[in-house]
Amino acid sequence: MAGGHGTRFWPVSRKNRPKQLLNIIGDQTMLQMTVDRLRKIRFIEDIYIVVGSDLAKTIAKEVEGVPKKNIIVEPSGKNTAPSIGLVASHLLARDPDAVMGVFPADHLIVGHRLFSGALSSALKLVNSDHLLVTLGIVPSSPHTGYGYIQFDKKRSLEDGKAFGVKTFAEKPTASAAKRFLESGDFLWNSGMFVWKASVYLEAMRDHMAVHHEIMEEIGQTVGTGKYQSTLEAKWDSLSPESVDYGILEKASNIYVVKSEFTWSDMGSWNSYFELLPKKGDGNVVKGDGLVIDGGGNLIYSLGKLTTVMGLSDIAVINTDDATLIVPRDRVEEIKTIVSMVKQKGRDDLL
């Protein structure tokens, strides 16, 4: 899933350069890292990318080797449930037993062996049973920025690598997050899934009947000359819906694979701050930065020097045409800033 136009990494991210196309970690974009991670496990011909029409060309250039026909273009953004349904329809036309893994293109994963192991467990589950499987990350901190999955210790499969899902919990308060962490039966909801394409579409039929009907109409034209016109005619009538809310929270055949790899949804500049190595004074400097008498700062400054004196716990994101300065505990409010920049008529900076 490579759509999305988040503003959370503004001013580095822009409308035409969203998070999945940034190489703020390492020298590859988040999308390239995601593709590389998967091509170690499957042939590149088996990698499908779903993306909005506005970004399709840009994305295609970024992923050398992925067949052009595997780039599934949505006429408009309808959130994750329809996106996954559309790809499932394509896969089903190719192979009625097709198994699909669903991965956001803008998440960070460290530790290939553990990632690959979690996927193997998930594959065994979905091949042997009609299950919807999600990857849940063993939490390393009482993070309040993630949704959580509570699993049922009694319903264990695959030698304790997977469990039945008891409940999905929204982003918790700090005290609830602490309780979740201590309980030992909560995992971070990673937004990565494994299931048979057919099982997903069945779940859609059960829990999102209207969506399913439209998806069926589109699905029947995959591979025919009517596909594009049917897609364009039908797609807009879909109401936006997330797979979490539309299906997972309602379905009963959901299992979670307890996953130990290091994972971040890269939800904000703070995710970035948490991931990068700190200097002795607790500052993170990417590029050319100088901090005097201050700690806990994030300085992102490529191609120019940013000097900060006497300030702590702020984020400074310094690009050629726009600079953002904000306390780190308010980076979630970048949205507000971006909407004010828009109000100022500065579309060139969006």
Q: Site residues for its own copies, window 271-290 (CB under 8 A)?
A: 290
- Which of 67, 95, 325, 342 forms a contact with its own copies (CB under 8 A)? 325
Hey, what amino acid is at 112? H
Q: Indicate whether 336 belongs to the interface with its own copies (CB under 8 A).
A: yes
Taking the complex as a whole, how short is the minimal distance between the CB of residue 12 and its own copies, in angstroms? 13
Q: Indicate whether 322 belongs to the interface with its own copies (CB under 8 A).
A: yes
Taking the complex as a whole, how short is the minimal distance between the CB of residue 292 and its own copies, in angstroms? 6
Q: Indicate whether 327 belongs to the interface with its own copies (CB under 8 A).
A: yes
Of 25-33, 43-51, 159-167, 331-339, the segment contacting its own copies by CB under 8 A is 331-339
Q: Site residues for its own copies, window 157-176 (CB under 8 A)?
A: none
Phi and psi at residue 141, to the nearest 5°? -160, 160
The contacts of residue 251 (CB under 8 Å, 6+ apart) are 132, 203, 206, 207
Q: Site residues for its own copies, window 7-26 (CB under 8 A)?
A: 11
The contacts of residue 21 (CB under 8 Å, 6+ apart) are 29, 30, 31, 55, 58, 59, 62
Taking the complex as a whole, how short is the minimal distance between the CB of residue 261 and its own copies, in angstroms? 34
Give the separation between CA 268 and CA 146, rounded to whole angstroms.
12
Given the complex with its own copies, which of 132 and 316 has the nearer CB atom?
Answer: 316
Given the complex with its own copies, which of 93 and 322 has the nearer CB atom?
Answer: 322
Given the complex with its own copies, which of 280 and 310 has the nearer CB atom?
Answer: 310
The three-state secondary structure class of 62 is helix
The contacts of residue 77 (CB under 8 Å, 6+ apart) are 3, 4, 5, 52, 240
Q: Indicate whether 98 belongs to the interface with its own copies (CB under 8 A).
A: no
Given the complex with its own copies, which of 11 and 52 has the nearer CB atom?
Answer: 11
From residue 21, how far is each of 105, 193, 224 by CA, in Å? 9, 22, 32
Terminal-residue alpha carbon distance, the chain: 22
Q: Indicate whether 214 belongs to the interface with its own copies (CB under 8 A).
A: no
Contact between 238 and 214 under an 8 Å Cβ cutoff? The reply is yes
Of 80-88, 142-150, 266-274, 333-341, the segment contacting its own copies by CB under 8 A is 333-341
Of 56-64, 222-230, 267-275, 330-338, the segment contacting its own copies by CB under 8 A is 330-338
Taking the complex as a whole, how short is the minimal distance between the CB of residue 279 and its own copies, in angstroms? 14
Q: Indicate whether 321 belongs to the interface with its own copies (CB under 8 A).
A: yes
Given the complex with its own copies, which of 110 and 340 has the nearer CB atom?
Answer: 340
Tokens of 92: 């089903």
Q: Site residues for its own copies, window 106-135 (CB under 8 A)?
A: none
Q: Indicate whether 318 belongs to the interface with its own copies (CB under 8 A).
A: yes
Residue of 259, 273, 250, 244 lying closest to 331 (CA atoms):
273
In the shown chain, the binding pattern of residues 67 to 96 toward its own copies, with x for contact by CB under 8 A and - for none, equals: ------------------------------
In the shown chain, the binding pattern of residues 287 to 306 toward its own copies, with x for contact by CB under 8 A and - for none, equals: ---x-x--------x--xxx
The three-state secondary structure class of 58 is helix
Give the separation between CA 249 and CA 137, rounded to whole angstroms.
18
Contact between 60 and 68 under an 8 Å Cβ cutoff? The reply is yes
Tokens of 217: 């109409």
Residue of 350, 30, 75, 85 lying closest to 237 (CA atoms):
75
- Which of 205, 326, 332, 350 forms a contact with its own copies (CB under 8 A)? 326
Give the separation between CA 297 and CA 199, rounded to whole angstroms.
47
Q: Which residues bind its own copies (CB under 8 A)?
A: 11, 290, 292, 301, 304-311, 314, 316, 318, 320-327, 330, 333, 336-337, 340-341, 344, 346, 349
